[in-house]
Structure 1
Protein backbone atom coordinates (compact mmCIF):
# COMPACT_ATOMS: atom_id res chain seq x y z
CA UNK A 1 0.00 0.00 0.00
CA UNK A 2 2.87 2.39 0.80
CA UNK A 3 4.27 1.96 -2.70
CA UNK A 4 0.86 2.52 -4.26
CA UNK A 5 0.38 5.75 -2.29
CA UNK A 6 3.89 6.90 -3.16
CA UNK A 7 3.48 6.40 -6.90
CA UNK A 8 -0.05 7.87 -6.84
CA UNK A 9 1.33 10.99 -5.15
CA UNK A 10 4.31 11.16 -7.49
CA UNK A 11 2.18 10.91 -10.64
CA UNK A 12 -0.76 12.94 -9.40
CA UNK A 13 0.23 16.28 -11.04
CA UNK A 14 0.19 14.44 -14.38
CA UNK A 15 -3.13 12.78 -13.63
CA UNK A 16 -4.65 16.03 -12.41
CA UNK A 17 -3.52 17.83 -15.56
CA UNK A 18 -4.98 15.00 -17.65
CA UNK A 19 -8.37 15.33 -15.92
CA UNK A 20 -8.34 19.09 -16.44
CA UNK A 21 -7.32 18.71 -20.07
CA UNK A 22 -10.12 16.26 -20.72
CA UNK A 23 -12.59 18.56 -18.94
CA UNK A 24 -11.39 21.67 -20.77
CA UNK A 25 -13.97 23.02 -23.21
CA UNK A 26 -12.26 24.13 -26.43
CA UNK A 27 -14.85 24.90 -29.13
CA UNK A 28 -13.65 24.87 -32.70
CA UNK A 29 -14.74 28.49 -33.23
CA UNK A 30 -13.78 30.98 -30.54
CA UNK A 31 -14.54 34.53 -31.70
CA UNK A 32 -12.53 37.30 -30.01
CA UNK A 33 -13.92 40.84 -29.82
CA UNK A 34 -11.95 43.79 -31.20
CA UNK A 35 -10.96 44.83 -27.67
CA UNK A 36 -10.70 41.48 -25.91
CA UNK A 37 -10.99 41.25 -22.17
CA UNK A 38 -8.51 39.27 -20.12
CA UNK A 39 -10.93 36.36 -19.76
CA UNK A 40 -11.59 36.27 -23.51
CA UNK A 41 -7.88 36.14 -24.30
CA UNK A 42 -7.40 33.37 -21.73
CA UNK A 43 -10.24 31.29 -23.18
CA UNK A 44 -8.93 31.74 -26.71
CA UNK A 45 -5.48 30.59 -25.64
CA UNK A 46 -6.58 27.55 -23.66
CA UNK A 47 -3.90 24.82 -23.62
CA UNK A 48 -4.46 22.11 -26.20
CA UNK A 49 -2.03 19.52 -24.89
CA UNK A 50 -1.32 17.77 -21.61
CA UNK A 51 2.00 19.56 -21.24
CA UNK A 52 0.32 22.89 -21.95
CA UNK A 53 -2.28 22.23 -19.27
CA UNK A 54 0.41 21.19 -16.79
CA UNK A 55 2.30 24.41 -17.46
CA UNK A 56 -0.88 26.52 -17.20
CA UNK A 57 -1.86 24.99 -13.86
CA UNK A 58 1.64 25.46 -12.47
CA UNK A 59 1.79 29.08 -13.66
CA UNK A 60 -1.63 30.07 -12.32
CA UNK A 61 -2.03 27.96 -9.18
CA UNK A 62 1.44 26.69 -8.33
CA UNK A 63 2.05 23.54 -6.30
CA UNK A 64 -1.38 23.77 -4.66
CA UNK A 65 -3.04 23.57 -8.06
CA UNK A 66 -0.91 20.65 -9.17
CA UNK A 67 -2.08 18.67 -6.14
CA UNK A 68 -5.69 19.83 -6.06
CA UNK A 69 -7.81 16.71 -5.54
CA UNK A 70 -5.02 14.60 -4.06
CA UNK A 71 -6.95 13.64 -0.90
CA UNK A 72 -9.95 11.95 -2.59
CA UNK A 73 -7.56 10.29 -5.04
CA UNK A 74 -5.43 8.79 -2.26
CA UNK A 75 -8.59 7.74 -0.42
CA UNK A 76 -9.63 5.61 -3.38
CA UNK A 77 -6.10 4.23 -3.73
CA UNK A 78 -6.36 3.05 -0.12
CA UNK A 79 -9.83 1.63 -0.78
CA UNK A 80 -8.68 -0.47 -3.74
CA UNK A 81 -5.53 -1.60 -1.96
CA UNK A 82 -7.37 -2.66 1.20
CA UNK A 83 -10.22 -4.50 -0.46
CA UNK A 84 -8.42 -5.95 -3.50
CA UNK A 85 -11.87 -5.88 -5.06
CA UNK A 86 -13.06 -6.09 -7.63
CA UNK A 87 -10.12 -5.90 -10.03
CA UNK A 88 -7.98 -8.63 -8.44
CA UNK A 89 -10.93 -11.03 -8.12
CA UNK A 90 -12.04 -10.47 -11.69
CA UNK A 91 -8.56 -10.82 -13.15
CA UNK A 92 -7.82 -13.86 -10.99
CA UNK A 93 -10.94 -15.80 -11.95
CA UNK A 94 -10.65 -14.87 -15.61
CA UNK A 95 -7.03 -16.03 -15.53
CA UNK A 96 -7.95 -19.50 -14.28
CA UNK A 97 -10.58 -19.70 -16.99
CA UNK A 98 -12.99 -21.95 -15.07
CA UNK A 99 -16.34 -20.40 -15.95
CA UNK A 100 -18.75 -22.34 -13.78
CA UNK A 101 -21.84 -20.84 -12.12
CA UNK A 102 -20.08 -19.71 -8.95
CA UNK A 103 -17.26 -18.07 -10.91
CA UNK A 104 -19.68 -16.11 -13.07
CA UNK A 105 -21.54 -14.98 -9.95
CA UNK A 106 -18.32 -13.79 -8.29
CA UNK A 107 -17.26 -11.94 -11.43
CA UNK A 108 -20.70 -10.30 -11.66
CA UNK A 109 -20.65 -9.17 -8.01
CA UNK A 110 -17.07 -7.92 -8.27
CA UNK A 111 -17.87 -6.04 -11.47
CA UNK A 112 -20.92 -4.45 -9.82
CA UNK A 113 -18.74 -3.24 -6.94
CA UNK A 114 -16.27 -1.87 -9.46
CA UNK A 115 -19.02 0.01 -11.32
CA UNK A 116 -20.46 1.57 -8.14
CA UNK A 117 -17.03 2.59 -6.84
CA UNK A 118 -16.03 3.96 -10.25
CA UNK A 119 -19.07 6.25 -10.36
CA UNK A 120 -18.31 7.59 -6.87
CA UNK A 121 -14.62 7.99 -7.66
CA UNK A 122 -15.34 9.82 -10.92
CA UNK A 123 -17.65 12.31 -9.21
CA UNK A 124 -15.41 13.13 -6.26
CA UNK A 125 -11.99 13.03 -7.92
CA UNK A 126 -12.90 14.79 -11.17
CA UNK A 127 -14.84 17.53 -9.40
CA UNK A 128 -12.11 18.00 -6.79
CA UNK A 129 -9.50 18.48 -9.51
CA UNK A 130 -11.55 20.84 -11.72
CA UNK A 131 -13.40 22.93 -9.13
CA UNK A 132 -12.64 26.64 -8.91
CA UNK A 133 -13.98 26.82 -5.35
CA UNK A 134 -11.80 26.85 -2.27
CA UNK A 135 -11.00 23.38 -0.93
CA UNK A 136 -8.06 24.27 1.29
CA UNK A 137 -9.97 23.27 4.42
CA UNK A 138 -9.83 19.69 5.71
CA UNK A 139 -13.48 19.98 6.77
CA UNK A 140 -15.55 17.14 5.33
CA UNK A 141 -18.64 19.34 5.37
CA UNK A 142 -16.88 22.02 3.34
CA UNK A 143 -15.61 19.41 0.88
CA UNK A 144 -19.12 18.02 0.36
CA UNK A 145 -20.48 21.53 -0.14
CA UNK A 146 -17.90 22.10 -2.87
CA UNK A 147 -18.11 18.73 -4.59
CA UNK A 148 -21.84 18.01 -4.48
CA UNK A 149 -24.83 20.04 -5.57
CA UNK A 150 -27.54 20.77 -2.96
CA UNK A 151 -29.76 18.08 -4.47
CA UNK A 152 -26.92 15.53 -4.32
CA UNK A 153 -26.15 16.38 -0.70
CA UNK A 154 -29.80 15.83 0.23
CA UNK A 155 -30.07 12.64 -1.83
CA UNK A 156 -26.60 11.09 -2.41
CA UNK A 157 -28.06 8.44 -4.71
CA UNK A 158 -28.55 11.17 -7.31
CA UNK A 159 -24.91 10.84 -8.39
CA UNK A 160 -25.92 7.48 -9.89
CA UNK A 161 -28.59 9.12 -12.05
CA UNK A 162 -26.34 11.81 -13.50
CA UNK A 163 -27.23 11.59 -17.20
CA UNK A 164 -24.93 9.14 -18.94
CA UNK A 165 -22.40 8.68 -16.13
CA UNK A 166 -23.55 5.27 -14.92
CA UNK A 167 -23.72 4.04 -18.50
CA UNK A 168 -20.21 5.33 -19.21
CA UNK A 169 -18.75 3.70 -16.08
CA UNK A 170 -20.60 0.45 -16.73
CA UNK A 171 -19.34 0.32 -20.32
CA UNK A 172 -15.82 1.07 -19.11
CA UNK A 173 -15.83 -1.73 -16.53
CA UNK A 174 -17.50 -4.30 -18.77
CA UNK A 175 -15.08 -3.57 -21.61
CA UNK A 176 -12.10 -4.15 -19.28
CA UNK A 177 -13.59 -7.36 -17.87
CA UNK A 178 -14.53 -8.59 -21.33
CA UNK A 179 -11.14 -7.91 -22.89
CA UNK A 180 -9.31 -9.54 -19.98
CA UNK A 181 -11.48 -12.64 -20.40
CA UNK A 182 -10.93 -12.64 -24.17
CA UNK A 183 -7.16 -12.38 -23.79
CA UNK A 184 -6.95 -15.27 -21.34
CA UNK A 185 -9.30 -17.35 -23.49
CA UNK A 186 -7.02 -16.69 -26.44
CA UNK A 187 -4.01 -17.90 -24.47
CA UNK A 188 -5.87 -21.02 -23.37
CA UNK A 189 -6.78 -21.84 -26.98
CA UNK A 190 -3.11 -21.49 -27.85
CA UNK A 191 -2.25 -24.04 -25.12
CA UNK A 192 -1.35 -21.21 -22.72
CA UNK A 193 2.09 -20.11 -21.71
CA UNK A 194 4.40 -22.73 -20.29
CA UNK A 195 4.84 -22.86 -16.56
CA UNK A 196 8.49 -21.85 -16.76
CA UNK A 197 8.46 -18.23 -18.00
CA UNK A 198 12.25 -18.05 -17.78
CA UNK A 199 12.82 -20.70 -20.44
CA UNK A 200 13.28 -18.91 -23.78
CA UNK A 201 12.84 -22.07 -25.86
CA UNK A 202 9.44 -22.73 -24.30
CA UNK A 203 8.38 -19.10 -24.65
CA UNK A 204 9.50 -18.58 -28.26
CA UNK A 205 6.44 -20.17 -29.98
CA UNK A 206 4.14 -17.86 -27.99
CA UNK A 207 5.93 -14.60 -28.80
CA UNK A 208 3.88 -13.82 -31.96
CA UNK A 209 0.65 -14.34 -30.02
CA UNK A 210 1.87 -12.07 -27.24
CA UNK A 211 2.80 -9.35 -29.76
CA UNK A 212 -0.63 -9.58 -31.41
CA UNK A 213 -2.38 -9.34 -28.04
CA UNK A 214 -0.32 -6.31 -27.02
CA UNK A 215 -1.06 -4.52 -30.30
CA UNK A 216 -4.78 -5.33 -30.12
CA UNK A 217 -4.94 -4.20 -26.49
CA UNK A 218 -3.22 -0.95 -27.42
CA UNK A 219 -5.57 -0.24 -30.34
CA UNK A 220 -8.77 -1.22 -28.50
CA UNK A 221 -7.87 0.84 -25.45
CA UNK A 222 -7.27 3.84 -27.67
CA UNK A 223 -10.46 3.43 -29.70
CA UNK A 224 -12.88 2.45 -26.91
CA UNK A 225 -11.58 3.28 -23.44
CA UNK A 226 -10.17 6.74 -24.17
CA UNK A 227 -13.50 8.26 -25.34
CA UNK A 228 -15.28 6.62 -22.40
CA UNK A 229 -12.81 8.13 -19.93
CA UNK A 230 -13.12 11.58 -21.52
CA UNK A 231 -16.91 11.37 -21.31
CA UNK A 232 -16.74 10.12 -17.71
CA UNK A 233 -14.88 13.32 -16.83
CA UNK A 234 -17.33 15.56 -18.69
CA UNK A 235 -20.45 13.85 -17.35
CA UNK A 236 -19.23 13.64 -13.74
CA UNK A 237 -18.53 17.37 -13.47
CA UNK A 238 -21.53 18.63 -15.45
CA UNK A 239 -24.13 18.75 -12.66
CA UNK A 240 -21.86 20.83 -10.43
CA UNK A 241 -20.33 22.96 -13.18
CA UNK A 242 -23.69 24.04 -14.62
CA UNK A 243 -25.32 24.62 -11.24
CA UNK A 244 -27.20 27.93 -11.21
CA UNK A 245 -28.11 29.78 -8.03
CA UNK A 246 -31.69 30.79 -8.68
CA UNK A 247 -31.77 33.30 -5.81
CA UNK A 248 -29.42 35.63 -7.70
CA UNK A 249 -30.91 38.38 -9.85
CA UNK A 250 -27.80 38.52 -12.03
CA UNK A 251 -26.51 35.67 -14.19
CA UNK A 252 -23.63 33.64 -12.76
CA UNK A 253 -20.13 34.68 -13.78
CA UNK A 254 -17.91 31.98 -15.18
CA UNK A 255 -14.98 31.31 -12.87
CA UNK A 256 -11.51 32.13 -14.12
CA UNK A 257 -8.91 29.38 -13.96
CA UNK A 258 -6.78 26.98 -15.99
CA UNK A 259 -9.85 25.06 -17.14
CA UNK A 260 -12.76 26.40 -19.13
CA UNK A 261 -15.80 24.33 -18.20
CA UNK A 262 -18.75 23.90 -20.51
CA UNK A 263 -21.31 25.87 -18.49
CA UNK A 264 -23.19 27.97 -21.04
CA UNK A 265 -24.24 25.29 -23.52
CA UNK A 266 -26.99 22.71 -23.86
CA UNK A 267 -26.31 20.01 -21.28
CA UNK A 268 -25.24 16.49 -22.11
CA UNK A 269 -28.36 14.35 -21.71
CA UNK A 270 -26.65 10.98 -21.94
CA UNK A 271 -23.64 9.06 -23.18
CA UNK A 272 -24.56 9.32 -26.87
CA UNK A 273 -25.47 12.97 -26.49
CA UNK A 274 -22.13 13.66 -24.81
CA UNK A 275 -20.16 12.00 -27.62
CA UNK A 276 -22.21 13.72 -30.32
CA UNK A 277 -21.85 17.21 -28.80
CA UNK A 278 -18.11 16.83 -28.13
CA UNK A 279 -17.54 15.85 -31.76
CA UNK A 280 -19.80 18.64 -33.06
CA UNK A 281 -18.43 21.42 -30.85
CA UNK A 282 -14.79 20.44 -30.40
CA UNK A 283 -13.96 17.79 -32.98
CA UNK A 284 -12.91 14.15 -32.76
CA UNK A 285 -9.60 15.02 -31.16
CA UNK A 286 -11.31 16.06 -27.91
CA UNK A 287 -12.57 12.49 -27.44
CA UNK A 288 -9.04 11.11 -27.62
CA UNK A 289 -7.20 13.38 -25.20
CA UNK A 290 -4.61 11.39 -23.29
CA UNK A 291 -4.99 8.32 -25.49
CA UNK A 292 -1.42 7.24 -24.77
CA UNK A 293 -2.09 7.23 -21.00
CA UNK A 294 -5.08 4.91 -21.40
CA UNK A 295 -3.43 2.68 -23.99
CA UNK A 296 -0.23 1.94 -22.10
CA UNK A 297 -2.03 1.57 -18.79
CA UNK A 298 -4.31 -1.06 -20.32
CA UNK A 299 -1.35 -3.09 -21.59
CA UNK A 300 -0.27 -3.64 -17.97
CA UNK A 301 -3.35 -5.84 -17.43
CA UNK A 302 -2.39 -8.42 -20.05
Structure 2
Protein backbone atom coordinates (compact mmCIF):
# COMPACT_ATOMS: atom_id res chain seq x y z
CA UNK A 1 0.00 0.00 0.00
CA UNK A 2 1.28 3.44 -0.96
CA UNK A 3 1.44 5.39 2.32
CA UNK A 4 1.44 8.77 0.60
CA UNK A 5 -1.73 7.82 -1.24
CA UNK A 6 -3.27 6.54 2.00
CA UNK A 7 -2.56 9.86 3.70
CA UNK A 8 -4.16 11.73 0.80
CA UNK A 9 -7.27 9.56 0.90
CA UNK A 10 -7.61 9.82 4.67
CA UNK A 11 -6.89 13.52 5.15
CA UNK A 12 -6.85 15.25 1.75
CA UNK A 13 -9.30 18.03 0.94
CA UNK A 14 -11.30 17.23 -2.14
CA UNK A 15 -13.41 14.50 -3.71
CA UNK A 16 -13.23 11.35 -5.84
CA UNK A 17 -14.19 11.40 -9.51
CA UNK A 18 -16.15 8.29 -10.50
CA UNK A 19 -15.11 7.48 -14.09
CA UNK A 20 -16.06 3.82 -13.92
CA UNK A 21 -19.18 3.45 -16.06
CA UNK A 22 -19.32 -0.21 -17.10
CA UNK A 23 -20.60 -1.77 -20.30
CA UNK A 24 -24.18 -1.52 -19.07
CA UNK A 25 -24.06 2.17 -18.14
CA UNK A 26 -21.68 3.38 -20.83
CA UNK A 27 -24.37 4.00 -23.51
CA UNK A 28 -26.18 6.32 -21.10
CA UNK A 29 -22.95 8.14 -20.22
CA UNK A 30 -22.14 8.61 -23.90
CA UNK A 31 -25.68 9.79 -24.65
CA UNK A 32 -25.39 12.48 -21.95
CA UNK A 33 -22.07 13.44 -23.55
CA UNK A 34 -23.82 13.88 -26.88
CA UNK A 35 -22.96 10.57 -28.57
CA UNK A 36 -26.12 8.52 -29.24
CA UNK A 37 -26.05 4.70 -29.62
CA UNK A 38 -26.46 4.93 -33.40
CA UNK A 39 -23.12 6.77 -33.61
CA UNK A 40 -21.09 3.62 -32.91
CA UNK A 41 -21.12 -0.09 -33.69
CA UNK A 42 -20.38 -2.67 -31.04
CA UNK A 43 -18.50 -2.67 -27.76
CA UNK A 44 -15.07 -1.89 -29.19
CA UNK A 45 -16.20 1.41 -30.72
CA UNK A 46 -18.23 2.20 -27.60
CA UNK A 47 -15.26 1.64 -25.27
CA UNK A 48 -12.98 3.69 -27.52
CA UNK A 49 -15.41 6.61 -27.37
CA UNK A 50 -15.88 6.47 -23.60
CA UNK A 51 -12.11 6.34 -23.14
CA UNK A 52 -11.75 9.45 -25.29
CA UNK A 53 -14.30 11.17 -23.04
CA UNK A 54 -12.51 10.07 -19.87
CA UNK A 55 -9.10 11.06 -21.23
CA UNK A 56 -10.46 14.52 -22.08
CA UNK A 57 -11.64 14.85 -18.49
CA UNK A 58 -8.43 13.50 -16.93
CA UNK A 59 -6.22 15.81 -19.00
CA UNK A 60 -8.35 18.87 -18.24
CA UNK A 61 -6.45 21.58 -16.30
CA UNK A 62 -8.92 21.33 -13.39
CA UNK A 63 -8.38 17.57 -12.96
CA UNK A 64 -5.70 17.82 -10.27
CA UNK A 65 -5.05 16.43 -6.81
CA UNK A 66 -5.57 19.75 -5.06
CA UNK A 67 -9.33 19.26 -5.47
CA UNK A 68 -9.78 15.77 -6.97
CA UNK A 69 -7.97 13.45 -4.58
CA UNK A 70 -8.96 10.18 -6.25
CA UNK A 71 -10.52 8.65 -9.35
CA UNK A 72 -12.35 5.36 -9.84
CA UNK A 73 -11.59 3.68 -13.17
CA UNK A 74 -13.34 1.02 -15.20
CA UNK A 75 -11.14 -2.04 -15.78
CA UNK A 76 -10.84 -1.22 -19.49
CA UNK A 77 -9.66 2.31 -18.62
CA UNK A 78 -7.02 0.94 -16.24
CA UNK A 79 -5.60 -1.12 -19.11
CA UNK A 80 -5.38 1.87 -21.47
CA UNK A 81 -3.16 4.93 -21.62
CA UNK A 82 -3.65 8.65 -21.17
CA UNK A 83 -1.13 11.07 -22.69
CA UNK A 84 1.26 8.19 -23.39
CA UNK A 85 1.23 6.75 -19.87
CA UNK A 86 -0.73 3.92 -18.26
CA UNK A 87 -3.86 5.56 -16.88
CA UNK A 88 -3.13 4.95 -13.20
CA UNK A 89 0.47 6.11 -13.64
CA UNK A 90 -0.72 9.27 -15.39
CA UNK A 91 -3.21 10.03 -12.62
CA UNK A 92 -0.69 9.74 -9.79
CA UNK A 93 2.56 10.90 -11.39
CA UNK A 94 1.13 13.77 -13.43
CA UNK A 95 -1.98 14.82 -11.49
CA UNK A 96 -1.49 13.51 -7.93
CA UNK A 97 -4.85 11.75 -8.13
CA UNK A 98 -5.11 8.37 -6.35
CA UNK A 99 -6.34 5.61 -8.71
CA UNK A 100 -9.00 3.01 -7.90
CA UNK A 101 -10.57 0.34 -10.13
CA UNK A 102 -14.11 -1.04 -10.22
CA UNK A 103 -14.03 -4.81 -9.70
CA UNK A 104 -17.66 -5.93 -9.51
CA UNK A 105 -19.36 -7.65 -12.43
CA UNK A 106 -22.80 -6.13 -12.08
CA UNK A 107 -25.83 -7.01 -10.01
CA UNK A 108 -27.71 -10.25 -9.45
CA UNK A 109 -31.49 -10.45 -9.68
CA UNK A 110 -33.42 -8.80 -6.85
CA UNK A 111 -34.09 -10.90 -3.77
CA UNK A 112 -35.44 -9.65 -0.43
CA UNK A 113 -35.64 -6.10 -1.80
CA UNK A 114 -31.95 -5.90 -2.75
CA UNK A 115 -29.58 -6.82 -5.56
CA UNK A 116 -26.35 -8.40 -4.38
CA UNK A 117 -23.27 -8.51 -6.58
CA UNK A 118 -22.81 -11.16 -9.20
CA UNK A 119 -19.91 -13.53 -8.58
CA UNK A 120 -16.56 -11.93 -9.51
CA UNK A 121 -14.63 -14.53 -11.51
CA UNK A 122 -10.99 -13.69 -11.99
CA UNK A 123 -10.83 -11.34 -9.01
CA UNK A 124 -7.37 -12.56 -8.00
CA UNK A 125 -6.00 -11.96 -11.48
CA UNK A 126 -7.64 -8.53 -11.63
CA UNK A 127 -6.10 -7.57 -8.30
CA UNK A 128 -2.67 -8.66 -9.54
CA UNK A 129 -3.06 -6.49 -12.63
CA UNK A 130 -4.30 -3.60 -10.51
CA UNK A 131 -1.26 -3.80 -8.25
CA UNK A 132 1.05 -3.98 -11.27
CA UNK A 133 -0.58 -0.80 -12.62
CA UNK A 134 -0.12 1.03 -9.31
CA UNK A 135 -3.78 1.01 -8.31
CA UNK A 136 -4.45 1.96 -4.67
CA UNK A 137 -7.93 0.50 -4.15
CA UNK A 138 -11.06 -1.02 -5.61
CA UNK A 139 -14.79 -0.37 -5.74
CA UNK A 140 -17.80 -2.69 -5.86
CA UNK A 141 -21.49 -1.83 -5.89
CA UNK A 142 -24.63 -3.48 -4.54
CA UNK A 143 -28.16 -2.03 -4.61
CA UNK A 144 -30.82 -1.71 -1.91
CA UNK A 145 -34.39 -0.94 -3.03
CA UNK A 146 -36.38 -1.82 0.09
CA UNK A 147 -35.73 -1.87 3.83
CA UNK A 148 -35.69 -5.64 4.17
CA UNK A 149 -33.46 -6.65 7.12
CA UNK A 150 -32.49 -9.97 5.56
CA UNK A 151 -31.67 -8.35 2.24
CA UNK A 152 -29.62 -5.53 3.74
CA UNK A 153 -27.68 -7.99 5.89
CA UNK A 154 -26.95 -10.17 2.84
CA UNK A 155 -25.62 -7.15 0.95
CA UNK A 156 -23.33 -6.05 3.77
CA UNK A 157 -22.05 -9.55 4.50
CA UNK A 158 -21.15 -10.02 0.83
CA UNK A 159 -19.43 -6.63 0.67
CA UNK A 160 -17.27 -7.40 3.71
CA UNK A 161 -16.50 -10.94 2.56
CA UNK A 162 -15.13 -9.72 -0.77
CA UNK A 163 -13.63 -6.66 0.90
CA UNK A 164 -11.46 -8.81 3.18
CA UNK A 165 -10.08 -10.65 0.15
CA UNK A 166 -9.15 -7.31 -1.40
CA UNK A 167 -7.58 -6.00 1.81
CA UNK A 168 -5.47 -9.16 2.05
CA UNK A 169 -3.93 -8.32 -1.34
CA UNK A 170 -2.83 -4.90 -0.13
CA UNK A 171 -5.60 -2.85 -1.74
CA UNK A 172 -8.16 -0.62 -0.04
CA UNK A 173 -11.73 -1.56 -1.04
CA UNK A 174 -14.56 0.91 -1.41
CA UNK A 175 -17.70 -0.91 -0.25
CA UNK A 176 -20.73 0.55 -2.04
CA UNK A 177 -24.14 -0.65 -0.80
CA UNK A 178 -26.19 1.95 -2.69
CA UNK A 179 -29.73 2.77 -1.54
CA UNK A 180 -32.25 3.68 -4.22
CA UNK A 181 -32.96 7.42 -3.89
CA UNK A 182 -36.59 6.73 -4.95
CA UNK A 183 -37.15 3.97 -2.38
CA UNK A 184 -40.36 4.47 -0.38
CA UNK A 185 -38.43 3.07 2.60
CA UNK A 186 -35.20 5.03 2.16
CA UNK A 187 -34.90 6.33 5.73
CA UNK A 188 -35.54 2.90 7.25
CA UNK A 189 -33.12 1.29 4.80
CA UNK A 190 -30.47 3.78 5.95
CA UNK A 191 -31.04 2.75 9.56
CA UNK A 192 -30.67 -0.94 8.73
CA UNK A 193 -27.60 -0.27 6.62
CA UNK A 194 -25.83 1.87 9.20
CA UNK A 195 -26.31 -0.77 11.89
CA UNK A 196 -25.15 -3.58 9.61
CA UNK A 197 -22.08 -1.62 8.48
CA UNK A 198 -21.10 -0.82 12.07
CA UNK A 199 -21.39 -4.51 12.91
CA UNK A 200 -19.23 -5.42 9.92
CA UNK A 201 -16.63 -2.81 10.79
CA UNK A 202 -16.51 -4.15 14.32
CA UNK A 203 -15.41 -7.52 12.98
CA UNK A 204 -12.30 -6.10 11.26
CA UNK A 205 -8.83 -6.20 12.74
CA UNK A 206 -7.14 -2.81 13.33
CA UNK A 207 -5.05 -3.07 10.15
CA UNK A 208 -7.98 -3.93 7.86
CA UNK A 209 -8.92 -0.61 6.27
CA UNK A 210 -11.92 0.06 4.04
CA UNK A 211 -13.79 2.97 2.50
CA UNK A 212 -17.55 3.32 2.19
CA UNK A 213 -19.53 4.80 -0.70
CA UNK A 214 -23.08 5.59 0.37
CA UNK A 215 -26.23 7.26 -0.87
CA UNK A 216 -26.73 10.72 0.62
CA UNK A 217 -28.95 10.19 3.71
CA UNK A 218 -32.31 11.73 4.56
CA UNK A 219 -31.07 12.88 7.98
CA UNK A 220 -28.02 15.13 7.95
CA UNK A 221 -24.82 13.68 9.46
CA UNK A 222 -26.51 10.31 9.81
CA UNK A 223 -23.34 8.45 8.87
CA UNK A 224 -21.12 10.27 11.36
CA UNK A 225 -20.46 7.03 13.36
CA UNK A 226 -19.11 5.44 10.17
CA UNK A 227 -16.98 8.47 9.32
CA UNK A 228 -15.40 8.36 12.79
CA UNK A 229 -14.75 4.59 12.80
CA UNK A 230 -10.99 3.81 12.98
CA UNK A 231 -11.19 1.18 10.21
CA UNK A 232 -12.76 3.63 7.74
CA UNK A 233 -10.34 5.63 5.62
CA UNK A 234 -13.12 7.81 4.17
CA UNK A 235 -16.88 7.85 3.63
CA UNK A 236 -17.79 9.10 0.17
CA UNK A 237 -21.18 9.95 -1.30
CA UNK A 238 -22.62 8.78 -4.60
CA UNK A 239 -24.95 11.10 -6.48
CA UNK A 240 -27.38 8.27 -7.21
CA UNK A 241 -29.42 10.12 -9.81
CA UNK A 242 -29.63 13.46 -8.01
CA UNK A 243 -28.72 16.47 -10.13
CA UNK A 244 -25.43 18.17 -9.29
CA UNK A 245 -27.24 21.00 -7.52
CA UNK A 246 -29.30 18.62 -5.39
CA UNK A 247 -26.38 16.29 -4.69
CA UNK A 248 -24.03 19.08 -3.62
CA UNK A 249 -26.70 20.74 -1.46
CA UNK A 250 -27.28 17.44 0.38
CA UNK A 251 -23.56 16.70 0.62
CA UNK A 252 -22.76 20.10 2.16
CA UNK A 253 -25.09 19.24 5.06
CA UNK A 254 -23.26 15.96 5.76
CA UNK A 255 -20.02 17.00 7.39
CA UNK A 256 -17.03 14.76 6.82
CA UNK A 257 -18.48 13.04 3.74
CA UNK A 258 -16.90 13.81 0.39
CA UNK A 259 -18.28 13.34 -3.11
CA UNK A 260 -17.67 10.43 -5.42
CA UNK A 261 -19.91 11.58 -8.23
CA UNK A 262 -20.19 10.27 -11.77
CA UNK A 263 -23.01 11.77 -13.82
CA UNK A 264 -23.43 14.71 -11.43
CA UNK A 265 -19.76 15.61 -12.02
CA UNK A 266 -19.86 15.37 -15.82
CA UNK A 267 -23.30 16.98 -16.13
CA UNK A 268 -23.24 19.59 -18.90
CA UNK A 269 -20.13 18.29 -20.68
CA UNK A 270 -20.64 17.44 -24.37
CA UNK A 271 -18.44 16.11 -27.14
CA UNK A 272 -18.97 19.11 -29.42
CA UNK A 273 -17.81 21.72 -26.89
CA UNK A 274 -14.75 23.76 -27.74
CA UNK A 275 -11.78 23.16 -25.46
CA UNK A 276 -12.36 26.54 -23.81
CA UNK A 277 -16.04 25.84 -23.17
CA UNK A 278 -15.29 22.34 -21.90
CA UNK A 279 -12.64 23.62 -19.51
CA UNK A 280 -14.91 26.36 -18.18
CA UNK A 281 -17.82 23.96 -17.61
CA UNK A 282 -15.67 21.34 -15.93
CA UNK A 283 -13.91 23.90 -13.74
CA UNK A 284 -17.30 25.14 -12.53
CA UNK A 285 -18.38 21.57 -11.74
CA UNK A 286 -15.15 20.82 -9.86
CA UNK A 287 -15.44 24.00 -7.79
CA UNK A 288 -19.06 23.22 -6.87
CA UNK A 289 -18.40 19.61 -5.88
CA UNK A 290 -15.20 20.53 -4.05
CA UNK A 291 -16.97 23.21 -1.99
CA UNK A 292 -19.61 20.70 -0.89
CA UNK A 293 -16.93 18.12 -0.02
CA UNK A 294 -14.96 20.25 2.45
CA UNK A 295 -17.79 21.05 4.88
Question: What's the TM-score once normalised by structure 2's chain length?
Answer: 0.24
Q: Which has the higher helix share?
A: 1
Q: Which has the higher strand share?
A: 2
